[in-house]
Amino acid sequence: MAGRTKLSFWLAMLEDISVLKREEIMLEQMAAITEASGDAIFRSDLNMDIEFWGKGAERLYGYTPEEILGRPVGILHDGVDSQNLREAVAKIRNGETIFDPSSRGRHKDGHLIPISVQVYPIKDKAKRIVAYAATHRDISEMKQMEGQLLHAQRMETAGLLAGGVAHDFNNILTVILGSSTLLRS
């Protein structure tokens, strides 16, 4: 055994990565939630250019990520009054969350989509705004149900009016019939 060195100690370094693994799993789960959502979820940079485009956004608007990433958010809006848009952007840039329960988006093929919109700033650890996130929800069914409800209410009103007119007409006919019978006798 000449020339061999005898090993006298071991050096090992261990690092607990369980916290990192939990965070990685959490991020994967959040990504899965975002992708499964029926809402259009996307992110834009400070210039309002789209940086992230979820599957719900693709389903709602028809654009693939390749077609929309880097394009301005304004492409999704239908002729929003420029003054209102400037005011909304100013509020978002000041750190406010914007909610519009009844707006309209424009699909890739040009048709309009009734949507509710929520836009909120994304902040870093130093509380500086670094991006914006948006959620757009298709409210077509809700609008359709509102229309059906309004139609039903109009029909009910027309029915009540017709019932009142018929009742009054019946009263007049009763007087006429009574007078006719009296004249006959």
Residue 51 reports pLDDT greater than 90: yes
Q: How confident is the model at residue 61 (pLDDT cuts 50, 70, 90)?
A: very high
* CA-based nearest residue to 109, from 63, 72, 77, 143: 63
pLDDT of residue 153: 83
Domains of the chain by residue range: 22-138, 141-185
* CA-based nearest residue to 46, from 80, 83, 92, 85: 92
Whole-model pTM over 0.85: no
Residue 81 reports pLDDT greater than 60: no
pLDDT of residue 121: 93
Q: For the segment 160-185, what is each residue's pLDDT rounded down to a tens digit? A: 887 788 778 788 878 888 878 877 87
> Which residue did the predictor score with more confidence, 20 or 2?
20
pLDDT of residue 9: 73
Residue 94 reports pLDDT greater than 70: yes
Cβ(53)–Cβ(73) below 8 Å = no
Please report the DSSP string for 78-104 in residue order: SS--HHHHHHHHHHHHTT--EEEEEEE
Pick the CATH number of 22-138 from 3.40.50.20, 3.40.47.10, 3.40.718.10, 3.30.450.20: 3.30.450.20
Q: For the segment 22-42, what is each residue's pLDDT rounded down to a tens digit? A: 888 888 888 888 777 889 999
Question: What distance in Å separates the CA atoms of residue 136 and residue 102, rounded to the nearest whole number?
Answer: 10
User: Per DSSP, which regions of 107-161 are E strands?
Assistant: 112-123, 129-138
pLDDT of residue 83: 63
pLDDT of residue 155: 82
pLDDT of residue 50: 93
Q: For the segment 102-122, what is each residue's pLDDT rounded down to a tens digit? A: 888 889 998 999 999 899 999
Residue 143 reports pLDDT greater than 70: yes
